[in-house]
Chain A
Amino acid sequence: MYPVIRLVNRNLTISLNMGFLIWQVVFPLIYIFVAGFAYTALIHEVPFANKRLDYPAFIASGMIGFNIMNSTLVSGIIIWNDRRHGMFEQILVGPFTRTQYILSNVYTIGIIGLISAGLITAVGYPLFFESVEFNILTIPLVVFASITGSILFGSIASIISTRLKSSEGFNVVINTVFLFFAFVSTAFYPAEGAPKILATAFYFNPLTYLVDVVRAGIFGNFNSFVGLEMLVLACGSAVLFVIATNLLSKLEL
């Protein structure tokens, strides 16, 4: 078995416990089924491209992106725990290089991101099946968004985990950053109709791009703006990945 695969195996074993899986499924379910239906009284329909989506379908598709982002916290937590519990050094005195360690984290978050997207797509499917337009061109959009989104948010979590030394600091910063990403985005509500300043802020947030591309994939709405969002997502994830890799490579032992 290749060293990176062995490390991915190890990462998945230490990350995928019952608590994490329940949190990964139950938390979005509450959003989709409780908030989704509760807000239907206030938000009847959400215009999306040439369609009008009901709110549960809109939020269910948004939750796919949201869940991908949340699951990538694993990357930061793995690095943080490895440093805190001495496994980072232990792995690096073993038959592995730093590059392999970093790549294993990327693959881990990619796998978790895809599993997470699959889970929420399956759970949310009954809500958006009327508007869904999966085809050979749109499914790759969801996969693209899942992978680039995982790398992008995984890199952010990794960067935070390399910069902070106390567990309290790590938790506060990561929760604040991800809370901003979650609520200042199009995951829960559309940019159209929001106050202009907020609508602009949505587009300073990578989750918006991730969610938009996922929705374009699910509802079959690919246009030049979505193409541009994909480009931003790809460039953003590449830049942040390089920064995260660089910081991890320089981490003192």
Chain B
Amino acid sequence: MSCIEARSISKSYDGILAVDSIDLSVPTGKIFGFLGPNGAGKTTTIKLLTTLVPPTGGTIRILGMDAISNPLEVRKRIGVVLQQPSYEPTLSVEKSIEKYAMMWNVDKKLQKDRMEDLLLAFDLQDIRKKKNDDLSIGHRRRVQVAREFVHDMDLLFLDEPTVGLDPSARRSLLDYIKKRVREGLTIFFTTHILEEAEYLCDEIAIINKGKIIAVDTPAELKNKFGREKTIKIHIDTIRKDLSVLLQGIRDYQIDYNSGTTITIQSHSSENILLKILQILTVNKIPIEDLSVVPTSLEEIFLTMVKNSNVSSD
């Protein structure tokens, strides 16, 4: 069953199309990654799905409800961590979690228990009495994310939740998210850090210039678009004659930097590698190092966005 069903949703501001007729289907109990470069339409899409702004066109169903005609009912069952910071500057960390729980009408007894759990899970115990205004950006972000888990919800929107977090806090947050998903929560997640998406998401959509350009699992995206491997051959000495020796071979490049490095990037990297190895052996050129790097999600993302920009231009 789908938690989010959006059909042909569009949003324009002053005649400029920020989201251009996109379709989204997010399965329940999964982590759905939403990736895109700056200004691609990610935050506008989140604003549409969380009912913060109405769409110019299209239909949105969230948790089986029509989000356009029942925005309040939808908002009662979702959680949202916005991209921008949101905090009460005069309240302490524990007071702001407690007041947020009160705003969500969480039972008093549950408020206390959940707050203690969250302070522990997000490593906020040492700063629980500190005012939000006195916190670092990273700590403030942690409070903002932790606070959202204090209330009951079926679907959580996380708009770049790890911005400003150190690597260990980031990993703890991602693991906490995974834990909550195992307990039944559905997550709509945007990030700029592709390793995060790869680590966390069951499915990924890539948006560029307001249009969805790909939707699939990370593995399938790699299968479809990532057959290309990067192969690097390093030679200890500078061999300026290599380009002459490798004449007729395509899709490689040579760099002269502390020796000679040949980089092959091709769909048929293995074939090219064999040809180059033959030439090096015949010419008795010793290889210092050879490495094969599978294409990362980041490379796929960059390639897809580049291709999409070219085709739309």
B296 CB to nearest chain A CB (Å): 33
A81 at interface, CB cutoff 8 A: yes
Q: Which of B52, B72, B90, B99 contacts A95 (CB 8 A)?
A: B72
Interface size of A in residues (CB-CB distance below 8 Å) = 22
B72 touches A253 (CB 8 A): no
Cβ-defined partner of A89 (8 Å) among B75, B82, B103: B82
Quote the shortest CB–CB distance from A20 to chain B (angstroms).
10
| CB pair A94 B47 closer than 8 Å | no
Q: Number of B residues whose C-beta is below 8 Å from A? A: 25
Instruction: Indicate whether A50 reaches chain B with its CB closer than 8 angstroms.
Output: no
Question: Is the beta-carbon distance between B87 and A85 smaller than 8 angstroms?
Answer: yes
Q: B105 near A1 (CB under 8 angstroms)?
A: yes
Is B52's CB under 8 angstroms from A85's CB? no
Contacting pair B82 A86 (CB below 8 A): yes
Q: Are A89 and B84 in contact (CB under 8 A)?
A: yes
Q: How far is the CB of B172 from chain A (nearest CB, A)?
A: 23
Task: Kindly state the separation between the CA atoms of A41 and B158 in the bound complex, as whole angstroms.
Answer: 66
Q: Is the CB of B87 within 8 A of A93?
A: no
Once the chains bind, are A85 and B88 in contact (CB under 8 Å)? yes
Contact of B47 among A1, A10, A97, A253 (CB under 8 A): A253
Can you name the residue of chain B whose Cβ is closest to the Cβ of A97?
B72
Map CB proximity to B onto A1-24 as digits: 1 under 8 Å, 0 otherwise: 100001101100110010000000
With A and B bound together, what is the CA distance between A6 and B53 in angstroms?
24
The chain A residue with its CB closest to the CB of B50 is: A93
Q: Would you call B103 and A10 a contact (CB within 8 A)? A: yes
Q: How far is the CB of B237 from chain A (nearest CB, A)?
A: 58
Judge whether B86 and A87 touch: CB under 8 Å: yes
CB contact under 8 A between A253 and B99, given known A14-B90, A85-B88, A95-B104 = no
Interface residues of B in 75-92 (CB under 8 A from A): 75-76, 78, 80, 82, 84-91
Determine how close the nearest CB of chain A comes to the CB of B189; give it in whole angstroms.
Answer: 16
Name the contact of A93 in the complex, choosing from B82, B88, B89 (C-beta under 8 A): B82
B248-291 vs A, CB cutoff 8 Å, 1 = contact: the mask equals 00000000000000000000000000000000000000000000
Report yes or no: B103 in contact with A93, Cβ–Cβ below 8 A: no
Would you call A14 and B91 a contact (CB within 8 A)? yes
A7 closest partner in B (C-beta): B103
Taken together as a complex, chains A and B put the C-alpha atoms of A95 and B87 apart, in Å, by 17
Nearest 3 pairs of A and B residues by beta carbon: A86-B86, A90-B86, A93-B80
B: residues with CB less than 8 A from A are: 47, 50-53, 72, 75-76, 78, 80, 82, 84-91, 95, 99, 102-105
A–B pairs, 28, beta carbons within 8 Å: A1-B105, A6-B103, A6-B105, A7-B103, A9-B102, A10-B99, A13-B91, A13-B95, A13-B99, A14-B91, A81-B89, A85-B86, A85-B88, A85-B89, A86-B87, A89-B52, A89-B86, A93-B80, A93-B82, A94-B80, A94-B103, A94-B104, A95-B76, A95-B103, A96-B75, A96-B103, A97-B72, A253-B47
